[in-house]
Structure 1
Amino acid sequence: MRFPILAVALIAASPAFADDDGDDDVKFGMAGILSASNSETLPPILLSAGQPLADAPLHLKSGTYYEIEIEADGSQELGLEGAGFFRAIWIDEIVIEGLEIRPLGIDSVEFDEAGVMEIGFVAIKPGTYDLHVPKATGDLQRLEIIIE
Structure 2
Amino acid sequence: MKKALFAAVVLAAMPFAALADDDDDAGPEAGMGLAGVLSKSNREALPALTLSTGQPIAKGPLTLKSGKYYTLKIEADGSQELALEGAGFFRAIWVNEIVIEGIEIRPLGVDSIEFDEAGEAEISFVAIKPGSYHLKIPGSTGDTQQVAITIE
Q: Deviations over 1:38-63 (max 9, x none)?
A: 00000000000000011110000000
**CA displacement 1:125-148 (0-9 Å, x = unmatched):** 000000000001111101000000
Aligned residues: 125
Q: What are the equivalent positions in structure 2 for 1:1-12 lying under 5 Å apart? A: none
Q: Note the alpha carbon deviations across 1:18-73, whole angstroms, 9 max, x for none.
A: xxxxxx92511121110000000000000000000111100000000000100000
TM value normalised by structure 2: 0.81
Stretches of 4+ aligned residues off by more than 6 angstroms:
none
| Residue number among 131, 134, 137 corresponding to 2:135 in the alignment | 131
What are the equivalent positions in structure 2 for 1:2-81 lying under 5 Å apart? 25-81=29-85
Determine what percentage of the aligned residue pairs are the same residue: 66
The separation in 2 between residues aligned to 1:26 and 1:52, in whole angstroms, is 40
Inter-CA distance 107–62: structure 2 relative to 1 (3 Å threshold) = same
Unaligned runs of 5+ in 2: 1-27
Q: What is the CA RMSD across the aligned residues, in angstroms?
A: 1.0
More helix by share: 2
The structure having more radius of gyration, on CA atoms, is 2
Paired residue secondary structure (1:30): coil
Q: Normalization by structure 1: what TM-score?
A: 0.83
The match for 2:87 is 83
The residue that corresponds to 1:3 in the other structure is none
Q: Secondary structure at the match of 2:132?
A: strand
CA distance in 2, matches of 1:31, 1:100: 20
